[in-house]
Amino acid sequence: MGPVLAGVLQLIALIGALALAYIPLGNYMAKVYSSRGHLRVEKWIYKAIGADPDTEMTWPAYLRGVLAFSAVSVLFLYLLQRLQGVLPGSLHFSAVNPAQSFNTAVSFVTNTNWQSYYGEQTMGHVVQTAGLAVQNFVSAAVGIAVAVALVRGFARSRTGELGNFWADLVRGTLRILVPGAAIAAVILVACGAIQNFSGIHEVGQFMGGSQQWNGGAVASQEAIKELGTNGGGYFNANSAHPFENPTPFTNLFEIFLILVIPFSLTRTFGVMVGSVKQGYAILATMFTIWLGFTALMMWTEFAHHGPALQAAGGAMEGKEVRFGVGGSSIFAVATTLTSTGAVDSFHSSFTGLGGGITMLSMMLGEITPGGTGSGLYGILIMAVIAVFIAGLMVGRTPEYLGKKIGGREMKLAACYILITPALVLVFTAASMALSTPPHSMLNSGAHGFSEVLYAFTSASNNNGSAFAGLNANTDWYNTMTGLAMLLGRFLPMVFVLALAGSLAEQKPVPVTAGTLRTEKPLFTGLLVGAILIITGLTYFPALALGPLAEGLAS
């Protein structure tokens, strides 16, 4: 079997698995967030934190819950790293330095999981399990909660209430993420991923000498890392490491975990607003862009010129032989079109155009299908903008799901789509202008610029993957990427929840002959075009200086 055919068959199998999970998982999540009952363990948690899960919240109260929980989480994870040297199970690792502790705490709480450290040489068992793994669950649950609040804004009328943040957080964690990750962890262990709390071992090498390896609760963290679109790996090699991702099957299974909740949330959206066709329209938009980017990535990585590359069956530099070009390309697009950031290959070693695709995938806002929750609320914001554009074309007040899109709604949507590009471009420009620090860039020219652009694109979009050619473990990059992650996560949430509150207060607008049918293929095409054009106009100058220049020169 040729490598191209193998890649195509993997893609077909992945699409089939996602299709099988779409309806049952989407319906189940809709049921979770629409239920009025509480499990016994949930009642214990509400009592412990002093929350009343049946109290409805307006958008400012919901936002305060999100920010308060996240602030406490950052502080807890920061202190856990600073105290690592005196904790049991530290593997004799010392405390993490302040700048890196801040960066890592912010990274995992914002669902970014950017790592400027070697996991197997920096974090002990307690920090990995009680700190990083816990945030993998709850940060993903926060994203889903905000998305559900926006969906309620569309579904409800004449009320400013969006549900209860604490109930949404606990339900998302205990009813969706915990059971899903448990099943996935068992499958990964059965397929060869490790799961233990062993210490450091001296291991011999084939060519002589030895190196040190430590074990860990790898499979359980790998499961939620992918299912929650987190991305932080137990080891520096991330999902290219055989302890995390041992076989071609586990590679495809991890891609499935990355995509299954973001895609299925469109079904949840359709069920909760009372029209599954609306969910299918959003799904079609996500799927069209994801499939197009995956096909383009496979083409540019398989068809790259050069006798060595042709002999290897494609651009194999930086890719694992057991995954090949096809598996690595599918993984790269999945991880950058979502807010995952896990990698099974080095994106810096992709072709110039291939590296540009990974960057453009993040620059879309990671909405096709995007992260757990963040992808859904991001693409719904783009849907609001698309219906506004359609309204301008025909001279009619835009409406979406029975809600008028007026000046207030458009200002909030505009602020949402502007904040992340502003963060990416400002932080990249500052780093290049100040050359701070000069030894961080290991490459010069277009590729060096691409490394910096990729870093802040990844941080501001809460992705977490890296080009791997940039030394980001410096005070400058730890601090600046930390700020980019904080602002890139929580400022958009402010606008999302404010928009949800504004929509929930409206009374429904009756459907007329002039209403844009947003469940039809025409709207899907409009939405795809709006996403690509807005992103292209925003980032084209920066992309032209980096990956496009490099790709055209090769």
**Predicted confidence (pLDDT) per residue in 166-184, tens digit:** 999 999 999 999 999 999 9
| Max CA distance (Å), the chain | 77
DSSP annotation string for 46-69: HHHHT--TT---BHHHHHHHHHHH
Give the CA distances from residue 445 to residues 138, 204, 457, 541, 547, in Å, rounded to whole numbers and listed in that order: 40, 39, 18, 16, 11
Give the residue-averaged pLDDT of 503-527: 89
Q: What are phi and psi of 124, to 5 degrees?
A: -80, 180
- Of 103, 126, 111, 33, the C-alpha closest to 70 is 111
Residue the block writes with tokens 């914001």: 381
Give the CA distances from residue 254 to residues 187, 207, 229, 355, 541, in Å, rounded to whole numbers and listed in that order: 10, 32, 10, 21, 34
**Does a structural domain hold residue 230?**
yes
Determine the 3-state secondary structure of 467 from DSSP.
Answer: coil
Give the residue-averaged pLDDT of 233-259: 93
pLDDT value of residue 307: 58
The count of C-alpha atoms lying within 13 angstroms of the C-alpha of 514, restricted to the half-sphere facing its C-beta, is: 10
| % pLDDT > 90, the chain | 63
- Where residue 381 falls among pLDDT bands split at 50, 70, 90? very high
pLDDT value of residue 313: 56
Average pLDDT, the chain: 90
Q: Strands, DSSP E only, in 338-485?
A: 399-400, 403-404
Encoded amino acid at 341, one letter: G
**Does a structural domain hold residue 223?**
yes
**Does a structural domain hold residue 253?**
yes
CB atoms within 10 A of CB 501: 24
- Where residue 3 falls among pLDDT bands split at 50, 70, 90? confident
pLDDT in tens, 274-312: 999 999 999 999 999 999 999 999 998 888 665 555 555
Range of the domain at 122: 3-202+213-269
pLDDT in tens, 409-425: 999 999 999 999 999 99
Residue the block writes with tokens 């501001």: 460
Residue 110: alpha-carbon gap to chain centroid: 10
CA separation for the pair 505, 486 (Å, rounded) = 29
Q: Is the pLDDT of residue 346 over 90?
A: no
**Does a structural domain hold residue 303?**
no
**Does a structural domain hold residue 231?**
yes
Residue the block writes with tokens 């506004």: 388
Q: What is the DSSP letter of 202?
A: E
Encoded amino acid at 79, one letter: L
pLDDT value of residue 306: 59
Q: Lowest-confidence range among 13-22, 203-212, 468-477?
A: 203-212
Q: Is the pLDDT of residue 337 over 60?
A: yes
CA separation for the pair 280, 383 (Å, rounded) = 13
* Helix %, strand %, coil % of the chain (to 5): 65, 5, 30
Tell me how many domains the chain contains. 1
Which of 107-121, 180-194, 220-234, 319-333 ranks highest by mean pLDDT? 180-194
**Does a structural domain hold residue 193?**
yes
Give the CA distances from residue 463 to residues 146, 174, 495, in Å, rounded to whole numbers and listed in that order: 18, 24, 20
CA separation for the pair 126, 135 (Å, rounded) = 13
**Polymer length in residues for the chain:** 554
**Does a structural domain hold residue 325?**
no
Whether the link from the prior residue into 437 is cis, omega within 30° of 0, is: yes
Give the CA distances from residue 266 to residues 105, 272, 462, in Å, rounded to whole numbers and listed in that order: 30, 10, 21
| Whole-structure pTM value | 0.94
- Of 308, 289, 298, the C-alpha closest to 535 is 289
**Does a structural domain hold residue 387?**
no
